[in-house]
Structures are given as structure tokens and as C-alpha cells.
Amino acid sequence: MEGQWVIWFSALVSSFLAYFLSELIGRRKKKSRANLPPGPPAWPIVGNILQLGKKPNESLWALSQQYGPLMTLSLGMKTAVVVSSSEMAKEIFKTHDQNFAGRTLIEAAKVNSHHESSIVFAQYGDYWRKVRRIAATELFTPTKLQVPQYLRRDQVS
């Protein structure tokens, strides 16, 4: 009889912890989606990928009819904002251009700190503009590109 009570109590405690963790995760997700546009509810791991089906363009059109020209989709573990009208795209790129100019930083770039010194992985800002200006004036000018031309000819031949 006492063994059943221990099993019952451990089941109660584990279900309480599972409920507490799910509420905590749910609140965190609600906070992170607070500033995002509306969108369909997503499955935990796959997101909205299953809703796109075999013809994603038609599925996105049907979702835009339901949620509007600006919606949020969860594509796996990534969140995407989908714009489905040209008027909304013009408005977004006119007013929120800085927010969409950044790049997704992959973990492989963080390992050797390539994201701190590379033009490829740099986020849009003062550093990126400075490095881009240097690359345009010092690396990609026609005279600088003509210098190793004999090496390219040797490789081609």
C-alpha cells in the first residue's frame, strides 16, 4: 500500500513540474511573439511547415486570406515574417528597413570569431559600412582585379 502512495505522489509531482515548465515556456513564447504580426498556430518542432503542403504558394495565399498581408510563420525552429502584398512590402521597407537588413548569424561563424571580423557575417551597421567601403575601393576596383590576371590565364590554360 505504501509503495502505491509513493508512485502516486511521484506521478503528481512530475505532472506538476511538467505543467509548470509548459506554462513557463508558453509565457516565454507569448512574450517573444508579442511584437510579431498574427499567424497560424505552430506545432512544437516542425512549426508551420506541414501547413505549406505540396504547393506552398497556394498555401501562403490561403493563409494570407485568413491572417492578412503580413503574418508570422514558424518554419522549423526559425520564425519568418511573410509579406504577401506589394503595398505592405513598400511600407515595411520604407519604415523598417534597418530591422530587415541584418543577417542570420550561424553557429559555425561564431566558433572562430569570424562574425567579428568578416564582411560576410557582419551585421548591418557602422562596421559593415566601413568594411564594405574599404573592399569596394581597395579590393574590387578594375585595376586591382587586373593584377592577378596572369594567374587566372595559367589556371584556365
pLDDT per residue as tens digits for the range 2-52:
667 667 767 666 776 676 667 666 655 554 556 888 999 988 888 899 888
Instruction: Give the chain as a DSSP string.
Output: -HHHHHHHHHHHHHHHHHHHHHHHHHHHHHHHTTTSPP----BTTTBTHHHH-S-HHHHHHHHHHHH-SEEEEEETTEEEEEE-SHHHHHHHHHHSHHHHS--PPPHHHHHTTHHHH-TTTPPTTHHHHHHHHHIIIIISSHHHHHTTHHHHHHHH-
For the chain, the average pLDDT equals 81
Give the per-residue pLDDT at 3. 65
- Position 119 pLDDT exceeds 70: yes
Segment 97-110 shows an average pLDDT of 77
* Domain residue extents for the chain: 1-32, 37-100, 103-157
Task: For 57-81, write each residue's pLDDT tens digit.
Answer: 999 999 999 999 999 999 888 888 8
